[in-house]
Structure 1
């Protein structure tokens, strides 16, 4: 499956805090506080609880506390200890004196290849297995294995520019590799908090739950985080330096037990259902066994048509970017979405291309897409890579797009395509699409519509 569609990285911070740099930041902040700069005073109030700095004898320790808390630490000593541990780990590793954290019998399972090299550099010895079927897009239905793989391969070929034979062969290879990984004696799952990762994690856990306990891995562990100290705006494991992966191994690796397996089973069953009540229940009640999963499921449900204008959350954000920034290239749109607009970034480059391509499947498209001169669209039969083209295409908001943003039109009334949200087929009403819509009220997600 197209792992490259999710491992596209931007200039995100790798997580290795420099203690001397943080000390300089604290000194600069103290100067700004003593000179009464408003932004600095706001930071002091937010993170140190000092609401009347004029009456306080501000010290360097106050500024250090602000810096520590902005980086996700409770205190400056905790930030310093974290930096010291990372520095020592790196020194030991570079000197060749670091004891390997695992053994060759361990299998590391990840939904992409983004940390493979980092684990090797960090000294891990275990085998790396990639399983990267992007369940956040395309049909994900409760079908027998062969039919399921064929349907997934057909979607991937038509949407991401693969040859059908190649997509099917790669899919079978990945699922066979997953079967082998699930039989390991010691299996470690590496996942982050977005819907791409969490839906794949649900599938993996459901597959494990279906196995006889006697043949499950003797040791089954999970590294799953939605934030990392010292990494503001954390988006994914792939951005982290090798020493940070080692830090996660030491500090955020937990056993997988019956509660996690049951959650994976329930989430996968709900994802493949033909109505959304199971997903809504999990997203609403929360998922304490794996806390990030509830938020990811909520975000997944927001890819259904909105009750306000028939747009998915991603489609609505694309229109909002164009309204704010003006005409953009596909590459500019993708960067804006991933770094500024999407609260839970999950799309890779190929997946975003599919969103744009599907967006104009309408009798009244909300955007105008200007083709690059001399280049046609991707040819799935030839395995043409669409990325060089769509990165340069220019996309502009038009009158229909503005009407949709204002809630004066319904995209589903003119939509001529077909897309899937798990087991839910999204199409226009006259083409038999599901009737479900999402709305937000006081920060809570609600789904309207009744199953036919």
Structure 2
């Protein structure tokens, strides 16, 4: 009997291997909350787009990432060669977006009509922190995937990779209980839109708060921001993008002791951060934010956020709003 386990990354793979899992284990190494997602693309085309983005960030060479994705995708497309396929993912946004992509793929197949079983871990656990013993204890938490879950994941994935965020925000009006961690994922993605009061994403504002409290080393800022999350999802490389966004605004909100140097893996520990007067003023902002040039330009799913973006996160009403609507 051939068993395939698909999970979120190498830390989880290492724990599973130490636990003696008799299975082929596939790591889904993609930070889907960073960079463009076009959910209309087939798997191979989207993988090429994702590899280009990762390479452009300087996180890895395009050729290597492209090869890794090609190898990963070939295993997924050969799903019918396995008797059992298990999706082991965590409850945070990073993992739940991966779950949506994978279930979207299976929604286009006929896996539920085949002899291959498909199951999903339904448990709020950080897999990379498990011991060999505790991760084995999670096996009973696996539950069969049904058609309702596949259809819901398909709708959510298409919404995430659409050029307008309205479809994603409308998910909150649906019953999302078939995928128990989807509701919090939808909210956390929306919180990365510019806040109507500050113009900052939640990640930016949290970092600004921490630095404003007097924490100056990027590693300690990162750790403090992790503690502010309901479910930790961000890695240090992504967090460096957040810090650089705060420094690179037309009116910088933070500054570094290494003037003129971007924060990167090689100098991460060398920076000492401080908040600017503009940053300090935003911490107490309660009115409407109007400085569009301060918005962090980047892709979030299928939406390119920039000064022309009309969508804002309303942290009081807990929804996305179009600021041009009457």
Instruction: Give the TM-score normalised by the residue count of structure 2.
Output: 0.90
* Separation in structure 1 between the aligned mates of residue 312 and residue 81 of structure 2, nearest angstrom: 40
* Separation in structure 2 between the aligned mates of residue 296 and residue 278 of structure 1, nearest angstrom: 14
Asked whether the equivalents of residues 414 and 428 of structure 1 are also in contact (C-alpha less than 8 Å), the reply is yes
1:184 to partner: Cα distance: 2.5
* Separation in structure 1 between the aligned mates of residue 211 and residue 87 of structure 2, nearest angstrom: 38
Deviations, residues 31-61 of structure 1 (Å, cap 9, x unaligned): xxxxxxxxxxxxxxxxxxxxxxxxxxxxxxx
For the residue of structure 2 that corresponds to 1:388, the secondary structure is coil
- In structure 2, the CA distance between the partners of 1:451 and 1:270, relative to structure 1 (3 Å rule), is farther
- In structure 2, the CA distance between the partners of 1:363 and 1:172, relative to structure 1 (3 Å rule), is same
Asked whether the equivalents of residues 371 and 393 of structure 1 are also in contact (C-alpha less than 8 Å), the reply is yes
Alignment of structure 1 residues 28-427 onto 2, 5 Å? 105-145=2-42, 147-181=45-79, 184-213=82-111, 218-226=116-124, 236-250=126-140, 252-324=141-213, 326-338=214-226, 340-371=227-258, 386-407=264-285, 410=289, 413-415=292-294, 418-427=297-306
Rg bigger for which structure? 1
Asked whether the equivalents of residues 244 and 262 of structure 2 are also in contact (C-alpha less than 8 Å), the reply is no
* Separation in structure 2 between the aligned mates of residue 396 and residue 409 of structure 1, nearest angstrom: 25
CA RMSD of aligned residues (A): 2.5
For the residue of structure 1 that corresponds to 2:315, the secondary structure is strand
Asked whether the equivalents of residues 159 and 167 of structure 2 are also in contact (C-alpha less than 8 Å), the reply is yes
1:278 to partner: Cα distance: 2.2
Deviations, residues 74-109 of structure 1 (Å, cap 9, x unaligned): xxxxxxxxxxxxxxxxxxxxxxxxxxxxx6x11110
The equivalent residue for 1:96 is none
* Separation in structure 2 between the aligned mates of residue 400 and residue 149 of structure 1, nearest angstrom: 39
Deviations, residues 4-33 of structure 1 (Å, cap 9, x unaligned): xxxxxxxxxxxxxxxxxxxxxxxxxxxxxx
Deviations, residues 294-351 of structure 1 (Å, cap 9, x unaligned): 1111101110111111100000100111122x1411111111111x222221101111
Q: Which runs of 5+ in 2 are unaligned?
A: none
- In structure 2, the CA distance between the partners of 1:215 and 1:361, relative to structure 1 (3 Å rule), is farther
Query: Which structure has more helix as a fraction of its residues?
Result: 1
Count of residue pairs the alignment pairs up? 323
